[in-house]
Structure 1
Amino acid sequence: MAGEQPVNTGIVQVQDNNNTSFQVPRLTSKNYNTWTILMESVLDAQGLWEVIDPVTGGAVDEKKNKVARAVLLQALPDDILLQVAKNRQTKDIWEALRVRFLGADRVQKARLATLKRELEQLRMKETDTIEEFAGKLSGFVSKFSNLGSSLEDEVIVRKLLDSVPNKYLQIVASIEQYSDIETMPFEEAIGRLKAYEERIRIQNERANDNESNLLLTKSDGEEGSKKEEVKKDEVVCKCCGRGSLNQSNRGRGRGNGRGRGGRSGGNWDKSKIRCFNCNEYGHYASECPKKESKEEVANLAEEYDPSLF
């Protein structure tokens, strides 16, 4: 039907004697602070704010009081409307809403004191980023605002500079020396610290890359040294070209059992000795059981004369 107001839009439209329309959002459990700002501007534009906050403290115009009361009640949800509708004065309704959402002055002051202590104890952790810590400070600004108080940019900027870890001391000293903190916006301080934070991150990445390359080079050098040592321990026979592990006592006692480390000794460990004849471990070439068979074949080859056949 024409003239009906939209349902559940959250907007109340009022009109003054000059046919000027004003839109006022409905009060909710989360928008009290912004709602009071808008309501004050609407009532003041209609010349009705004086019934809530008299300038001279004189008598309130009854007609203005009724109009302001009607405008105010239209912006309230049903549950709150039933509680404050008994008040005939607009000023009393406004105060009842303030007490409901902000609490009594004593409770409000206690909450503010608690917030101030929490803000003083707040410190940025080494694992936090500037963006994360700035978000925590912005949360305190919102909490102070919800209690009807405010935090100036100067207070938040000084808190930010005093709470960062030691790795930011260089940029903090630069800001304090060359900038006017009293007039610096909070966003500007955040931007400078974030730029410095990014520079630190890039330097750390370069340092980690250099360290990784150094470790890789050292590992390659150690591997090369091990291979060189293995080559040094291997001895190649001049007769057959086969290699064997170099033993410190290999050349000792290789005569007919003479010497303490000779082969005739019962304590000599031959498990690491490789035979030059069969290339197997456990005996010397002179002791090789396959030596005789090879010599016999060689003798037969010499004795073989094709002209005899």
Structure 2
Amino acid sequence: MRIYLQCIDLDILDIVEKKYVKKLSSEMTEDEKKLANHNIKAMNALVCGLTPNEYQRVSTCATAYEIWEKLCITHEGTPQVKESKISGLMHDYELFKMLPNESIDSMFSRFTNIINELHDLNKVLKNQEINYKILRSLMPAWEPKATAIEEAHDLSTLTLDELIGKLKVYEMKIKEKEEAIPRVTEEPPQKSKSIALRGVIDVSSSSNSEDDVSREVTHLSRRISKLIKINKNFKNRFNNKFPSRIGKCFECNEPGHLANDCPKLKEKYLKYKKKKAMYAG
């Protein structure tokens, strides 16, 4: 809005920011008529830039200065509110730090937001103070570069854009070095070997085709299934021939089975369950 008023006339912004006393046209001198003309132009520029709701707040104002003051209090607050906002922003400024793995552009964007908000509240920081704050906010890995900048340049005359430009160049060099260093990759796990009873096939060998490997796996699975069946049949014949070798049941004291397979124990459990159900009914 300030830039827009200055585009109309350089003197219009002065009439907005300085108190103007409105007089009757018959009592005005030539200079006072010029001020009155500037006041009307400024009021027109301000009112045309407002929404209907905002206009209702300033419709009774007689000068551009009154409109400007009311809008400032409405959107920026009273002096006490401004001081509170400045205090909060200064707290953010003091605690500002570069985040891990954060780029210079991202850090500068966050820092600029704080500085601009302070500037809008008429809290202007010195250029040297801002430069020192940025250098102190960098990560420990940037300390050599920060020290070099402090020794080589006068931070009171070094602009913020120049400082950020130097940091970005250093950031690009770091990335180039990281990309130039070959990354150590883990060795791929060795492929297992397919072992059959009749021979050994190395799956990792390039001379073996996929069909050969598939046939050997099929053959191995068949042999294993056959061994499982043989073992099961042998176990069943052994148990039938020597039932006493299985063990003796702790429930009925008879050989040939264990307590988990005892028929008497199952009967007792069913009777107990039925009896419990009758009591519950």
Q: TM range, normalised to the smaller chain?
A: 0.5 to 0.7
Residue of structure 2 in register with 1:175 after alignment:
149
The offset of 1:155, in angstroms, is 3.0
Q: CA-to-partner distance for each residue in 1:13-67, whole Å, 9 max, x for gaps?
A: xxxxxxxxxxxxxxxxxxxxxx034325645436x8357526xx9x665554653
Q: CA-to-partner distance for each residue in 1:267-287, whole Å, 9 max, x for gaps?
A: xxxxxxxxxxxxxxxxxxxxx
For 1:89 and 1:61, how far apart are their aligned partners in 2? Answer: 11
Correspondences of 1:71-90 after superposition (within 5 Å): 71-75=41-45, 76=47, 77=50, 78-90=52-64
Runs (4+) off by over 6 Å = none
Residue of structure 2 in register with 1:53 after alignment:
18
> Is the Cα–Cα contact under 8 Å of residues 43 and 49 in structure 1 kept in the other structure?
no
Residue of structure 2 in register with 1:106 after alignment:
80
Call closer, same or farther: CA 1:149–1:41 in 2, change over 3 Å.
farther
Q: CA-to-partner distance for each residue in 1:50-107, whole Å, 9 max, x for gaps?
A: 57526xx9x6655546534432332222322222121223322221122122211110
> Is the Cα–Cα contact under 8 Å of residues 98 and 138 in structure 2 kept in the other structure?
yes
Correspondences of 1:33-48 after superposition (within 5 Å): 35-39=1-5, 42=8, 44-45=10-11
> Is the Cα–Cα contact under 8 Å of residues 16 and 42 in structure 2 kept in the other structure?
no
Residue of structure 2 in register with 1:301 after alignment:
none
2:177 equivalent among 187, 203, 206? 203
Alignment length (residue pairs):
180
Residue of structure 1 in register with 2:269 after alignment:
none
> Is the Cα–Cα contact under 8 Å of residues 97 and 137 in structure 2 kept in the other structure?
yes
For 2:156 and 2:87, how far apart are their aligned partners in 1? Answer: 24
The offset of 1:202, in angstroms, is 2.2
TM-score of the aligned structures, taking structure 2 as reference length: 0.55
> Is the Cα–Cα contact under 8 Å of residues 84 and 93 in structure 1 kept in the other structure?
yes
For 1:51 and 1:195, how far apart are their aligned partners in 2? Answer: 44
Please tell me whether residue 184 in structure 1 is matched to residue 162 in structure 2: no
For residue 180 of structure 2, what is the amino acid of its counterpart?
R
Residue of structure 2 in register with 1:193 after alignment:
167
Residue of structure 2 in register with 1:150 after alignment:
124
For residue 11 of structure 2, what is the amino acid of its counterpart?
A
Residue of structure 2 in register with 1:164 after alignment:
138
Call closer, same or farther: CA 1:148–1:61 in 2, change over 3 Å.
farther
For 1:61 and 1:52, how far apart are their aligned partners in 2? Answer: 18
TM-score of the aligned structures, taking structure 1 as reference length: 0.50
For structure 1, the residue ranges without an aligned partner over 5 or more in a row are 1-34, 224-309
> Is the Cα–Cα contact under 8 Å of residues 86 and 121 in structure 2 kept in the other structure?
yes
Call closer, same or farther: CA 1:67–1:130 in 2, change over 3 Å.
same
- Calculate percent identity across the aligned residue pairs: 20
For 2:183 and 2:18, how far apart are their aligned partners in 1? Answer: 69
For residue 105 of structure 2, what is the amino acid of its counterpart?
E
For 2:16 and 2:169, how far apart are their aligned partners in 1? Answer: 51
For residue 18 of structure 2, what is the amino acid of its counterpart?
D
Call closer, same or farther: CA 1:86–1:37 in 2, change over 3 Å.
same
> Is the Cα–Cα contact under 8 Å of residues 124 and 133 in structure 1 kept in the other structure?
yes
> Is the Cα–Cα contact under 8 Å of residues 40 and 49 in structure 1 kept in the other structure?
no
